[in-house]
A and B are shown apart, each in its own frame.
Chain A
Amino acid sequence: MPPPRCSRCPNPSSLLRSRSLLPFCRRCFVAAFEAETLRALLGDPSGTPKPGQGVAVAASGGKDSTVLAYVLSRLDRCHSLGLRLALLAVDEGIAGYREPSLVALREVALALPLPLLVVEHRELFGLTVDQAGPALGGRSRCTLCGVLRRRAMERGAGEMGADWIVTGHNADDVAETVLMNFLRGDVARLRRAANEATGATNETTAATSEFSRATNEATGANEATTTTSEATGATNKANEANEATGATKKEPNRNPTKPNDNSSEPNGNPTEPNDKSSEPNRNPTKFDRNSMQPNNNSSELKGNLRNSNGNPTKFNRNPRKRTQTPPRPNAAPPVVPRLKPLRHAAQREIVLYAHFLGLSYASSECHHAPLAFRGHPRALLKDLEATRPATVAALAHSGRRLALGAAPGAGEPPGACGRCGSVASGDLCMACALLAALDKGRPQLALGKRGVRVATGADEQWEGEGGERGGHWDGPRGGHRVGGPGDGSGGHREGDDGHWDGSGGHRVEGARNGGGGHQEGGSGHQEGGGGQGATGWLMAPGLVVKLVAMGAVLVVTGVVLVATGAVAAGMVALGLMVKLVTMGAILVVTGTVLVATGAVATGPLLVAMGPVLVAPWARKCRSRWFHGEVALSGAA
């Protein structure tokens, strides 16, 4: 029996379209598919990319993203959309799965040709999914992987200066998600999806346009500055609030406010920081007066540390206060809005499109995937689709129409994560909560309701003395911590972080001189009291590494706090520090260096102008983590 004729032209048809069940020939199908993608891209209720805007294609090397990248670059050319397209990939570190797909992706990038940025989990978070997997067990590892991947994607897009992220989610994915969320009873997610699609359309467009404006401003070298100034303001406010809570704090605690005031200025003018840096130094020196002695005598330091830790009520009161008064330290930073131009395309048609055009893509399956709950709804969807192809679209329609009402507190703008500053629904963003819980060796808890409590340190019973801690510094950390046996000191270490937290304001400004230009480095501000108003990533570590690799010199003015691997703003991971130093970076630190775990140097390359405080337990693990000496040129 000959195939029926194409419904658009006299040629014999090659397929029946999923959406209309009409016969199409190859040519007409390809044309229709592209036209629909364009309609979906330009008809998105949440906003559309304008000419000249940067669009990051979230690419994995799989069929969806490959087809998306191809179609978008083709549409961009044919319809002169004027988009700045680039590929953005995340390397989660899954052996046997990610490498081949990245290889495929590099070929795609070469063929199109589009620039490609690969962001690595290991680099951003200091751990890979393969490492975290065993600790997390079955399905949880896919949750972690997903959460971190989204975060990595956001950061990558920010680094690229993209205004939009487009993802290759197809109609099947959308339907599957609806089914899965319904099966799991995830009302919050169902509601979010429904509201995004219908009710709150106006709101979202407004928000996204704002976002895009913000991102526009933030592109290029401005990025750090805008965010910094905003963040500083917020931090100051947070500090005031901190003081206002009535916790009587003395000198060290007031410190953070001062450098912050200063820091907003130097940001405006890159030449100034050197002059200014002497000023903020005053604060450290003041602070040093307390700590200089202990440095000469480690036992005294110990006593001192104990002392400040022995005032648990002081530090303790703060975090608790914070939980009572809703934190919302600052508004969430601009989020790169996401689009799904393939949301109406059936998976089957995407495969056919790739087949007809001879696109090659990676199709390996992640070896963690069989553990994901998603497998169940996926199998069901395949059956449903077989009996009625329109079910895929119907499920998506249902998902958009679910009458779940407005979310509690829907009117408020999303808050920022207390640790990394990105958008979060609670005190901490999901990524930070997961990572923190993972660090504590209680990964399962991270997925439950107590996740955030564990992460913020409100979970006192378990913490023991560590309960006094703000839970602030044990941020992204090296993968070596995961499930490692030698972690006995973990609680201890973390417990004392509260001390570092409360003891002063720390600021790092990186000045990059190598390339001739001046780059505002990771300029962050931190203050005591358990995580009020973290400033956020001001510069992604990936970029710092690249800059340093290019020969930049990182000048750090202010106090560097290296507590369990976090430099200054708690943002630069241990891995980064080590990487920088081993790459031959010269870290010039003009302020105090506090080394909690001995995270800094693997070579004599840290040049510290100020005193270096090495916590006693850091010396203990010296044999494990110290491979070199810290050269001290300051008043150590």
Chain B
Amino acid sequence: MCDVSGDGGGCGADAEPPRRRRAPRDSHPRTCMKCGQGTAALIIRVGDPFCRGCFREYFVHKFRAMLGKNRVIFPGEKVLLALSGGSASSAMVRQVQEGLSREAAKRLRFIPGLVYVEEGAVRRQSPEQREQTLAHMETLLRATGFPYHVIHLEEALELPPSILQPGPEQSSKSGPSGPSYKEAVDSFIQQKRQEAEGDSATPLPGHSTQDMPVGPPYSPRLPDTAQTQELLRIFEAVETATAREELLQMLRTHLILQMARSRGYSKVMTGETCTRVAIKLLTNLSLGRGAFLAVDTGFTDKRHGDVMVVRPMRDYTAKEIAFYNHFFNIPTVIVPPLFTKRREKPSIHHLIERFLLGLQEDFPSTISTVYRTGEKLSPDPAKASSESQRCLLCLCGLDIEGEEELALEPTLIWEELEPVGNGCCQQGAEKKAAYIPLLCYSCRLTFKELGPLTTLPPYMRAEAQRRIHSAEMERQTQENQERSKS
């Protein structure tokens, strides 16, 4: 390159090593850029050294600012914190703890609960390892002092089909509009005052209105082996690592959602970081979910109607979280990743993660650029006008309308491929292709790789049957009407 261009002006600029700050002449540590006194403990961004105290303040402020700016969590509301044991969600739980223990004026005023989904079955953990992880998690959960729930992934087999329908939206509290939020705050303060007058001995904050005992009597017992086998059968029938990853996410979301619904939580908080959001944005883009990026990664996700998913950690980079956890000794539990089959291509999720983190090394603004691009997207296309226009699996509005036939071809299932002579496909009233019209573009692609229908989680099949049936009924009534007219 250089010898061709002659002067190497351009190449020289490229080959230059990434800009580094010169080390100070004397090797004294730098001072904090915020208070100017403390010794810098870490550099958040290029040229921003922070001492421990200031970093902590910065970190806590970010969390509160995120909630305060968006105003979606009402005082007195029950919020379910989804905890995986990983660093981001652990930091999130710590933030909520700190927020609740603050002096009255600045205190967070929602009622938290924790949920942990135990996924050892699909993470290739032996029963002993699962027990161990579970016991570890239990100690952490109990230490928070919040009510908590443990769900095993196996329980997804018993989910009701209604989980695939959006719940009734609470009209009074739905929008993040100013007045309704203000009203809610005012009424909450009134209520508190009355309570205080009635009973001078106010119970501990956060625990006052809870309707269940702290830490339900839960003994760490694993589900039946039969159930575990059944779950593994479902996951093993999935043809690709990408679809398996998607299935796991789907089941996890549905389990948390079910827990929130049954226990009366109206918000779920998840701990996606900025880094994670950027990865998810690019992953979902590659999965064909371009229309739904805003709901998949945005601060609020209202697709489930009654339960809103909130992502308060999406402003933190993975680095900030890691340092916070390290400095303030936030315990985390690490579980092995989802199993992969031998000779299987890596999942899209994995590829994108590797790519983005790798590119971040050379171009340090990559993740924030992707994140900011995602911020500009609107959540509108995810809204479904009717049930027939809503994706069976992801509950987003179908994004098929107006698409060229040629573009849709990769999402279709070619029935004629299957050997017709067997008779088994004729007989089974259920056909994979019949599911396709119910799904959005990306769920079609994933669904194609989910394996035979018989290994689909039962609630998905039941709901699909219902949808196919009702669509059939509708068509028939229409036909009848037309016939009667003519």
Q: Which A residues lie at the B interface, using CB under 8 A?
A: 7, 19-20, 22, 36, 39-40, 43, 45, 95-96, 130, 133-141, 178-179, 182-185, 187, 190, 198, 201, 344, 367-368, 370-371, 376, 380, 383-384, 386-391, 393-405, 483
Cβ contact of A138, chosen from B7, B13, B241, B366, cutoff 8 A: B13
Whether B294 contacts A386 by the Cβ 8 Å rule is no
Cβ contact of B381, chosen from A36, A133, A182, A401, cutoff 8 A: A401
Whether B417 contacts A390 by the Cβ 8 Å rule is no
Residues from chain B with a CB closer than 8 A to the CB of A201 are 402
User: Residue of A at shortest CB range from B446?
Assistant: A388
Per CB-CB distance, the 8 closest pairs between chain A and chain B, nearest first, are: A398-B290, A394-B288, A137-B10, A401-B291, A387-B345, A403-B378, A185-B369, A401-B290
User: Residue of B at shortest CB range from A40?
Assistant: B406
Residues from chain B with a CB closer than 8 A to the CB of A39 are 405-406
B1-54 interface (Cβ within 8 A of A): 1, 4-11, 13-14
Q: Known: A395-B285, A403-B377, A403-B379. Is A183-B445 also a contact (CB below 8 A)?
A: no
Residues from chain B with a CB closer than 8 A to the CB of A182 are 281-282, 285, 370, 373
Whether A402 contacts B286 by the Cβ 8 Å rule is no
Whether B414 contacts A403 by the Cβ 8 Å rule is no
Q: Compute how far the CA of A137 lies from the CA of B5 in the bound complex, rounded to whole angstroms.
A: 9
User: Residue of B at shortest CB range from A190?
Assistant: B373
Q: Looking at chain B's contact residues, is the secondary structure mostly helix, strand, loop, or mixed?
A: helix
- Tally chain B residues at the interface, Cβ within 8 Å: 63
Q: Mark B397-436, 1 if CB is under 8 A from A, else 0.
A: 0010011111101111010110000000000000000000
Whether A395 contacts B417 by the Cβ 8 Å rule is no
The reply to whether the CB of B355 lies closer than 8 angstroms to some CB of chain A is yes
Whether B348 contacts A387 by the Cβ 8 Å rule is yes
Residues from chain A with a CB closer than 8 A to the CB of B265 are none
Residues from chain A with a CB closer than 8 A to the CB of B449 are 388
Residues from chain A with a CB closer than 8 A to the CB of B284 are 398
Q: Compute how far the CA of A201 lies from the CA of B293 in the bound complex, rounded to whole angstroms.
A: 22
Whether B286 contacts A394 by the Cβ 8 Å rule is yes
Residues from chain A with a CB closer than 8 A to the CB of B289 are 398
A173 vs chain B, min Cβ distance (A): 15
User: Residue of A at shortest CB range from B406?
Assistant: A344
A574 vs chain B, min Cβ distance (A): 23
User: Residue of B at shortest CB range from A392?
Assistant: B410
User: Residue of B at shortest CB range from A95?
Assistant: B4
Q: 10 A–B contact pairs at CB < 8 A?
A: A40-B406, A137-B13, A178-B285, A367-B1, A371-B14, A376-B355, A384-B352, A387-B240, A401-B290, A401-B291
Whether A183 contacts B345 by the Cβ 8 Å rule is no
Known: A185-B373, A380-B355, A398-B290. 10 other contacts (CB 8 A): A7-B416, A20-B409, A182-B285, A183-B282, A201-B402, A380-B352, A387-B240, A387-B348, A390-B288, A398-B289
The reply to whether the CB of B372 lies closer than 8 angstroms to some CB of chain A is yes
| Interface-centre pick from B9, B13, B286, B377 (highest chain A CB count, 10 A) | B286
The reply to whether the CB of B223 lies closer than 8 angstroms to some CB of chain A is no
Cβ contact of A183, chosen from B6, B9, B370, B409, cutoff 8 A: B370
Residues from chain B with a CB closer than 8 A to the CB of A387 are 240-242, 345-348, 351
B477 vs chain A, min Cβ distance (A): 32
Q: Compute how far the CA of A397 lies from the CA of B7 in the bound complex, rounded to whole angstroms.
A: 43
Q: Looking at chain A's contact residues, is the secondary structure mostly helix, strand, loop, or mixed?
A: helix
Residues from chain A with a CB closer than 8 A to the CB of B355 are 376, 380, 383
Whether B406 contacts A391 by the Cβ 8 Å rule is no
Q: Compute how far the CA of A138 lies from the CA of B288 in the bound complex, rounded to whole angstroms.
A: 32
B409 vs chain A, min Cβ distance (A): 5
Q: Mark B229-247, 1 if CB is under 8 A from A, else 0.
A: 0000000000011100000
| Interface-centre pick from B4, B294, B411 (highest chain A CB count, 10 A) | B4
Residues from chain B with a CB closer than 8 A to the CB of A344 are 404, 406-407, 409
Q: Compute how far the CA of A396 lies from the CA of B290 in the bound complex, rounded to whole angstroms.
A: 9
Residues from chain B with a CB closer than 8 A to the CB of A22 are 414, 417
Cβ contact of B370, chosen from A133, A185, A370, A393, cutoff 8 A: A185
The reply to whether the CB of B442 lies closer than 8 angstroms to some CB of chain A is yes
The reply to whether the CB of B116 lies closer than 8 angstroms to some CB of chain A is no
User: Residue of B at shortest CB range from A184?
Assistant: B369
